[in-house]
Amino acid sequence: MLGIVLGVGARVTWFQRARRAATVLALCAASVAHAEPPRGPQLQIDLGAGVVGVGLEAQVSDHLAWQMEAIGTTTLYLKYVGGGTNTLGYGAGTRLTWLQKRDGTGLYVAGALRFVRGRGERDGDPGHGLVWLPAVTLGQAFHATKTVDLRFGFGAQWIHYDMRTKSGPLTADVPFIMVELLVGIR
pTM of structure: 0.75
Average predicted confidence (pLDDT) for the chain: 84
Q: Which residue has the higher pLDDT, 114 or 125?
A: 114
Q: Which of 40, 41, 37 is nearest to 55 (CA)?
A: 41
- Could you tell me whether strands 51-59 and 42-48 are parallel, antiparallel, or unpaired per DSSP bridges? antiparallel
Per-residue confidence band for 60, with pLDDT thresholds at 50, 70 and 90: very high
> What is the pLDDT, as a whole number, of residue 78?
80
- Could you tell me whether strands 64-74 and 148-165 are parallel, antiparallel, or unpaired per DSSP bridges? unpaired
User: Residue-wise over 68-100: b if at least 16 C-beta within 10 A, else e?
Assistant: ebebebbbeebeeeeebbebbbebebebebebe
Look at residue 9 and tell me whether its pLDDT is greater than 60. no
Q: Do residues 107 and 160 share a domain? A: yes
Mean pLDDT across 86-95: 93
Q: Do residues 59 and 137 share a domain? A: yes
- Distance between CA atoms of residues 51 and 46, nearest Å: 7
Q: Do residues 9 and 85 share a domain? A: no
Q: What residues make up the domain containing 12?
A: 2-35
28 in helix, strand or coil?
Answer: helix
Per-residue confidence band for 172, with pLDDT thresholds at 50, 70 and 90: confident
Q: Do residues 78 and 158 share a domain? A: yes
Q: Do residues 128 and 47 share a domain? A: yes
Q: Do residues 23 and 57 share a domain? A: no
Q: Do residues 30 and 74 share a domain? A: no
Q: Do residues 61 and 109 share a domain? A: yes
> What is the pLDDT, as a whole number, of residue 97?
97
Number of structural domains found in the chain: 2
Q: Do residues 14 and 91 share a domain? A: no
